[in-house]
Amino acid sequence: MKKVNSWLSVILLVGAGCTDPLIVPEGQGGEPVYGFEGRFNGVPVQMHAGENGSYLYTHATTDSLGVVEYTGMLAPWDCDTCSPSLQISIRSESLENPMASELLQLGSRNFHSPGEVLVPERYLYSFYSLDTVHNLSHFWDFGNGDISTLANPTHTILAIENTHQVNHFVTSIGGDTCSAALSNTVDPASECSGFFEYQVFSDDHVQFTTNFGPSANISWNFGDGNSSYGASPTHEYDAPGNYLVWMMVVDGNNDCFAQYQRDVQVGVAGNCSAAFNYSRVYEPAVLSNGEQLGSVCITYKRSDGKMFSSKLQHQPEPSFFEVLQAEKGAVNSAGEDTYKLVLRLDAYLYSANGDSLKMESDAFIFAFGAAN
C-alpha cells in the first residue's frame, strides 16, 4: 500500500460517545494490561483499565470528511464524559480504502499543526450581577480554574466539558460594610438557560417570576422550609430576613434539567447580594478543510473537568510520538476488532485558554477500535 503523509494530531470527538468497552485481559498475577504510565508536568501518573472503576473503550468512527478514526479512550465505567479520561485517536491514511492494518505501522509520527485544528463546539456564557444598588467589587470562579473580577463577565465553556459550579463573591466598596457569596450550577449539556426574578410587597408577600415557558416543570424551595410549583408562585414569609431561594427546572421539550439559586431579601435593607443570572450563545464546531490523513489524536480531561489537547498549539522540539510495537488485539464487547499498540511519547497538551500540560511516557499499552 502506498504510504500517505504520517501526521499526528488531536481530534476532539464531540458527542461521539464511547459505549463499547474493551474486555480487558489481565497479565500475569492479575496485573492490568492497558492504560497509561508516565508523567504529567513531571508528576508520575498511572491510569489503568480495570482499576478505580476505569475501562478502556474502543471504537471506530467516520468524520464529516469521510476519514475513519480508530479510537481508544480510558475513562470511568459507563460514563465517557466523566473525568479523568485519556483519549487517543488515529486517523486512516487513506480516504478511498481505509484499512485498520495501518495501525500496525511502527515508528514516529509528526504532530498536527494548529492551522488545521477543528474548533470544538462551545457556548459563550454571559453572567449578570443582579445587585445594581451597591458599589461592589466582584470575584468570579467559573469552576475550571478560570476567574474574573468584572461585574458582568463572559466565559467560554466547551460543549463536552462537565458541569461547572460557578461561584460569585461580592464585597462593598466604601459605605456600609457587606459581603455575600452565591454559587449556581452551569451545565453545557443542558438546553436550559434562564433565571428568576422576585418582587417584595409591603406585607412580606413575594411574587416570583421566571422566563421559562409552559413546557417546563418548575419547583421552588423558598428557603424557610416551604416549597411550591409553577412558573409564578407567591409566598408569604413569617419574618423579615435573607432567604436562599432555589428554582429547579425540568423542561421536557428541551430534554434538560437546571437549578438556580439567589438570596431573596424580605423586609431588610442595606444588604448586598451576590445573586446572578446568565445566558448563553451556542457556537458550533468549525471544520478543517484538510483531511489530515494519517493523523493521531490525544485529548486529556483532568479530574477537575478541564480539557487539554495536543492540537491547539504547535508542538515544541523535541516532542515526539512513536509506535514501538503493534499487534491485533482482543475483540471488544461489541464484537469489534481491536489493535494493541505499545506507545512512547513526549508532548505538550494545551487548554482552550492556553495553559500547557507536559505529557511523557517511556512506554504504555493502549488499544484502538477498528472497523470490521
pLDDT in tens, 123-134: 888 998 888 778
d(C-alpha 239, C-alpha 245), whole Å:
15
- Decide if 178 contacts 270 (C-beta within 8 A): yes
- N residues, the chain: 372
Nearest Cα residue to 11 out of 165, 133, 160: 160
C-alpha cell at 154: 463572559
User: pLDDT digits over 20-59, tens only?
Assistant: 445 444 444 445 688 999 999 999 999 988 888 888 888 8
Quote the pTM value. 0.50
Q: Which residue has the cell 423558598?
A: 222
Report the relative pairing of strands 216-221 and 241-251 from DSSP bridges.
Answer: antiparallel
Q: Which CATH class is domain 122-283?
A: mainly beta
What is the pLDDT at residue 8?
Answer: 25
Judged against a pLDDT cut of 60, whether residue 115 lies above it is answered with: no
Q: In the structure grid, which three cell numbers stand for residue 350, read together?
A: 494545551
Q: How confident is the model at residue 290 (pLDDT cuts 50, 70, 90)?
A: low
- Which of 22-36, 60-74, 202-216, 305-319 has the weakest average pLDDT? 22-36
DSSP line for 204-273: SEEEEEES--TTEEEEEE-SSS-EEESSS-EEE-SS-EEEEEEEEEEETTTTEEEEEEEEEEES--S---
For the segment 259-280, what is each residue's pLDDT rounded down to a tens digit? 787 778 787 765 778 888 788 8
With b for 16 or more beta-carbon neighbours within 10 A and e for fewer, the 268-293 pattern comes to eeebbbbbbbbebeeeeeeebebbbb
CA distances from 303 to 63, 89, 161, 319 (A): 28, 21, 11, 24
- As annotated, the residues of the chain forming the CATH 2.60.40.10 domain(s) are 122-283
> For residue 261, what are the β-bridge partners?
246
Report the pLDDT averaged over residues 70-97: 81
Residue 191, number of CB atoms within 10 A of its CB? 14
- Mean pLDDT over residues 190-198, rounded? 74
- Lowest average pLDDT, out of 150-154, 252-256, 311-315, 352-356, goes to 252-256
The lowest-confidence range among 41-45, 116-120, 181-185 is: 116-120
pLDDT at residue number 12: 26
